[in-house]
Amino acid sequence: MSVKQIIKKCEQLYNDIDLFYVQEWKEKHKSRAIGFMPVYVPRELIHAAGMLPVGIMGAGDLLEIIKGDAYFQSYICHIPRSTIELGISNRLDCLDGMLFPAICDVIRNLSGMFKLMFKDMYVKYIDFPQNFLKTLGGNFYQHELRTMSDDFSQINNVDVNRDDLNRSIKLYNENRAVIKELYDLRSQNPHLVPGSELYLLMRASNVLEITEYTALLREYISETVCEKRPQRDNIRVVVTGVFCEQPPLALIRALENSGCFIVDDDWMLGARFILGDVALSNDPINALADAYLNHTVCTASKYDQDGNKGAFLIEQVKKAKAEGVIFAAPSFCDPALLERPMQQKALNRENIPYTSFKYSENTGQFQVIKEQTGTFADSIKLWGDS
């Protein structure tokens, strides 16, 4: 496929809020599908049980909220409203379960609501360790993983063994390696991998079966390096704070059109959450737990026991040779906004410029944001080295 065809396919998946791909996959494989909310879930466990992991990132700006608002107070983010709307409009009926990984009270409450409202569905709130000692948090998390793995075996009526788990871990390792290759390529040649294209490719991770997804990314990489695209006089920025409720696609395009090359980000972070490979071993559950404890990104989406807030962001900036940071957070997103002062402090120490705005997944007005980030880009171009 050409780059255009690959991106068109990803855009179709992005727009597929009725989950037709999932329905077809289930029909074809005579199997089941388990949904999950952002940010990170160990998809390997779902895959090893022969099921399809399906990321549900709300409905963005693709669905009018008719009843979803009635379930929530005004002053919280938008993603739970559209997720409930997806549920009550029967768009999630093809899912046999939903996972709610601990990130904030909103997600915790949403998991409770799903339990009450969708009684035929397996609903699990995943607690992640906040203590990173192998003997404490590690043991606790292994127990969570084993419980989930047993549940998935039961749901799909299969016996998941060590080889199944290792096979899935290997496929997800390969996938993360290709995603890293894609991100490295963009960082080195941002004009070859526009942010909006990368975003659509990452969104495809929500539904595509992992081998199909890895192959698609490989195809994109080999095609896009042959594309003739204009070099642009844009500044290089890291976008951060977008790990849960996702910005609308048009907002990403607006950022790029305002003169910014996005050279790193934290959208669709779950697919990049583990850094490097999970070990293939005699005890794959232990390996998954070890990867979570010791080899994951350290953003606002994960409890940081060292209190070294902002260090990961500085590392992102330096690695990507970024000239500035754009803080983009969903309105009322506690995890992103509470982390911000510490991150800003770290940037101030390093003399790295930043700007910030808030959005909601269904934001429709981008002009003000575009002018703001455009001015930010101009100021870096004019005074960045002074």
Under the rule (CB under 6 A), what is the footprint of ligand SF4?
A: 77, 79, 103-104, 106-107, 244-245, 330, 333-336
Both tokens of 260, joined, read 């910014």
Give min distance, CB of 83 to ligand SF4, in A.
9
Q: Which is nearer to ligand SF4, 199 or 376 (CB)?
A: 199
Strand partners, 177: none
State the DSSP string of 220-239: HHHHHTT-------PEEEEE
Q: Which is nearer to ligand SF4, 38 or 324 (CB)?
A: 38
Q: Which is nearer to ligand SF4, 46 or 333 (CB)?
A: 333
Q: Which is nearer to ligand SF4, 97 or 330 (CB)?
A: 330
Give min distance, CB of 284 to ligand SF4, in A.
29
Q: Which is nearer to ligand SF4, 138 or 335 (CB)?
A: 335
Cα atoms found within 13 Å of the Cα of residue 117, Cβ hemisphere only: 19
10 Å CB burial of residue 7 (0-12, 13-18, 19+) is buried
> What are the backbone angles phi and psi of residue 296, rounded to the nearest 5°?
-130, 165
Altogether, the residues listed in the chain come to a count of 386
Give min distance, CB of 111 to ligand SF4, in A.
11
* Cβ atoms < 10 Å from Cβ of 254: 22
Q: Which is nearer to ligand SF4, 276 or 341 (CB)?
A: 341
- Contact of 322 with 339, CB cutoff 8 Å: no
> For the chain, how big is the Rg over CA atoms in Å?
20
Give min distance, CB of 151 to ligand SF4, in A.
23
Give min distance, CB of 330 to ligand SF4, in A.
4
Cα atoms found within 13 Å of the Cα of residue 357, Cβ hemisphere only: 20
Q: Residue 28 to residues 31, 65, 274, 351: CA-CA distances in angstroms?
A: 8, 32, 30, 54
Q: Which is nearer to ligand SF4, 198 or 328 (CB)?
A: 328
Q: Which is nearer to ligand SF4, 214 or 343 (CB)?
A: 343
Task: Classify 211 in phi/psi space as left (phi over 0), alpha (psi -120 to 50) or beta.
Answer: alpha
Give min distance, CB of 55 to ligand SF4, in A.
13
Q: Which is nearer to ligand SF4, 97 or 241 (CB)?
A: 241
Distance of CA 16 to the CA centre of its chain: 17
Q: Which is nearer to ligand SF4, 108 or 318 (CB)?
A: 108
Give min distance, CB of 329 to ligand SF4, in A.
8
Give min distance, CB of 273 to ligand SF4, in A.
14
CA distance 169 to 48: 8
Give min distance, CB of 361 to ligand SF4, in A.
9
Give min distance, CB of 300 to ligand SF4, in A.
8
State the DSSP string of 41-110: --HHHHHHTT-EEEE----TTSS--SSGGGGS-SSS-SHHHHHHHHHHTTTTTT-SEEEEESSSHHHHHH
CA angle 116, 117, 119 (to 5 degrees): 75
